[in-house]
Amino acid sequence: MNEGTGSAAGDAGVADLIDAGTWLPLDPPRPVIFIPAEAIGWAARLAGRRPPPLRVRSWGLTYPPELPATQTGWVRFCTGIWAATITVDLPTFNRRTHLTADLWVPADAIRLSATPAAQPGAADTTADDHRHAR
């Protein structure tokens, strides 16, 4: 990748993005709860379409109301809106396997997990911190 693109770890562009406050990596990453309907609800739409065959439904990705995920950072768009960067396992409808996905999701699509590392006072930053930062 070209210098300044910020598209690969180690590029000079990544350091520039961190310095500018555009990319805020979390070190260490933290456990969060992902609320899929807030980020990928469009994937559940069937309006005006016939349901897919059973094989497609069985092996297609699905999502419960909440999924455990790992937040790796925050990114800020030129509009000032923050998005969380997360890694999450999206299960198939038949629950026989899953697909691990790295997603950029709206801040409202995550909440802190109830694990001890994410409790108040553990030096965590929340979506509200970043929506109002800088």
pTM for the predicted model, two decimal places: 0.71
User: Is 8 among the domain residues?
Assistant: no
- pLDDT tens profile 24-47: 999 999 999 999 989 987 776 665
Across 77-100, average pLDDT: 94
As given in the structure block, the two tokens for residue 72 are 């790796």
Q: How far apart are CA 131 and CA 115, in angstroms?
A: 23
Which residue range is the domain that position 75 belongs to?
A: 16-131
User: Is 5 among the domain residues?
Assistant: no
User: Is 10 among the domain residues?
Assistant: no
pLDDT number for residue 14: 75
User: Is 43 among the domain residues?
Assistant: yes
pLDDT at 75 exceeding the cut of 90: yes
User: Is 89 among the domain residues?
Assistant: yes
- Write the DSSP string, 35-89: -HHHHHGGGG--TTSPPPPHHHHHHSB---S-EEEEEEEEEE-TTS-EEEEEEEE
Q: How far apart are CA 122 and CA 50, in angstroms?
A: 49
**Number of independent structural domains in the chain:** 1
Across 105-120, average pLDDT: 74
User: Is 119 among the domain residues?
Assistant: yes
- Give the SS3 label for residue 129: helix
